[in-house]
A and B are shown apart, each in its own frame.
Chain A
């Protein structure tokens, strides 16, 4: 098996900066990512864009190009289209490339697999024509296709960013339905002073709203009772607005309720996690260097709790400093000197986080549907009511529910139902989320074929 000092999984801002920092101090580093090019979610395909597409996506996007180029010019060995599917605490990492399983043994691992969009289940959300807002952005960044007359629904800063990007691409959304209400503003008001350090965010935010207004995009705030309307395909969206039922005709609904850490690997590794109520998600426990409950495994970026792209990059660097220190590439003074300045920058980046989290906290009904008929588990089509019945009966938690209902057993391995199921149990049984816990996740974290797994068999075959 090939050996390296550091394997970084995920080539977003966190992974790129971790890999570069370590490699620049002499460590042997591989950087794996399943995408064709480095960049992660925010800088997806940034180095492949013509001038035009980059311009309409904005400066925050094109900023990533510097790092992508730096990776290409560095000693970091970047393995693109390498999908990781199994990691062991000992540092072995197994991945698929071109349908072939390969393995690398690393002295340290940095998990930088980023975030997933939070599932936003509402009646009809499994119909073709409902996609996540992030998915629409990926189509734009990666493939240059733009949704037409779509309705954006949900909450979170990304919702506006994507609206603005669609506008710039010449296809403004039909409307934006915002699920946050006046209460969310009140709830977050006390957080404003602390957040002012991160003023850049707010200038940007105000500018975005202004642009949308100028373009005549209708915004409905404080909406509820969202439902996709249609027989087999989306034909419209129904919702409640200021005490009135409304319906808009549309063929595409782009849903979004913020992003949550992608915990597939941290869970499959059995790392410790805690409930982060502000972000309404589970996050792996890490120390201030990003080290997880396993000595050799570090986590940086949104995968350790949502922090945004710049903070992710800084966390990546901080992780790498400790990795370099662990492996004696740098001494304590060298580590601490650089870390101190990175931490200062990080504090500025994190200043507005609490406000953003409070302001765009998803409403309860967007996490656990009110209607019993609404599907929670997309893969196995398990409905809210079935799970509620289990929780109200003798079923003790998400893992028992998985066995009894098949929720979480499908191909997405619980990525889009896990948080809803845990919250449903918490709510129905009055237990804290820390007590309720989450699905026990297992490898392979990504779908691979049996043949590929079989190719790793060594030694005597089984009778």
Chain B
């Protein structure tokens, strides 16, 4: 069911922003969270997609379960607690890259 439509935006809200997910452009709506935006674009797994771990997706949407963590412009955040902004770069948490980032 990976590519089926899982979430639909209520029709009154039209996409009007752009963000990127692992470098790919995605449509976003002002006011929605990063987690919602990814889900609306059929991204269900936020972690572990390419790693050996089984994939993990968001679960609680209220900042409690921590399985929605992503890098937002290079800083690790809970995707369900951050609103989308124009040109935001969102990507999978990659511990290796992250520690290098942190050094700069």
Give chain A's interface residues, CB within 8 Å of chain B. Answer: 34, 36, 41, 48, 50, 52-53, 83, 99, 116-117, 126-132, 134-136, 138-139, 142-148, 169, 171, 230, 232-235, 249-252, 262, 378-379, 410-412, 415-416, 446-447
Contact = CB atoms under 8 A, between A and B. Distances in A.
Interface string B16-38: 00000000000001011101110
B39 A129 contact: no
Interface residues of B, number: 43
A144 B62 contact: no
A88 to B, nearest CB: 22
For chain A, what secondary structure do more than half of its interface residues adopt (helix, strand, loop), or is it mixed? loop
Given A128-B44, A144-B32, A147-B7, A41 B64 contact: no
9 contacts: A52-B10, A53-B12, A129-B1, A131-B61, A144-B36, A145-B32, A171-B8, A262-B64, A447-B78
B61 A234 contact: no
A36 B5 CA distance: 28
Interface of B: 1-2, 4-10, 12-13, 29, 31-33, 35-37, 39-40, 44-46, 54-67, 69, 75, 78, 80-81, 83
B1 A230 contact: yes
Nearest to A137: B61
B12 A233 contact: no
B9 A129 contact: no
B76 to A, nearest CB: 8
Nearest to B2: A233
A252 B33 contact: no
A232 B66 contact: no
Contacts of A379: 66-67
Which of B5, B12, B39, B45 has its CB near the most chain A CB atoms (within 10 A)?
Answer: B39
Contacts of B6: 129, 147-148, 251-252
Contacts of B10: 52-53, 144-146, 169
Contacts of A52: 10, 12
Contacts of A131: 57-61
B64 A146 contact: no
A234 B65 CA distance: 19
Given A143-B31, A416-B60, A416-B64, 11 more contacts: A52-B10, A126-B56, A128-B57, A129-B57, A135-B61, A135-B62, A144-B13, A145-B7, A146-B8, A148-B4, A232-B2
Contacts of B55: 127-128, 232-233
Contact of A145 (B8, B45, B63, B67): B8
B65 A145 contact: no
Contact of B58 (A50, A135, A148, A411): A135
**5 nearest CB pairs, A to B:** A128-B57, A143-B36, A251-B1, A411-B66, A143-B32
Contacts of A139: 7, 35-36, 39, 61
Contacts of B32: 142-145
Given A129-B1, A233-B2, A412-B65, A146 B59 contact: no
A412 B12 CA distance: 35
Which of A41, A250, A252 has its CB near the most chain B CB atoms (within 10 A)?
Answer: A252
Contacts of A249: 1
Contacts of A48: 31
A142 B59 contact: no
B8 A135 contact: no
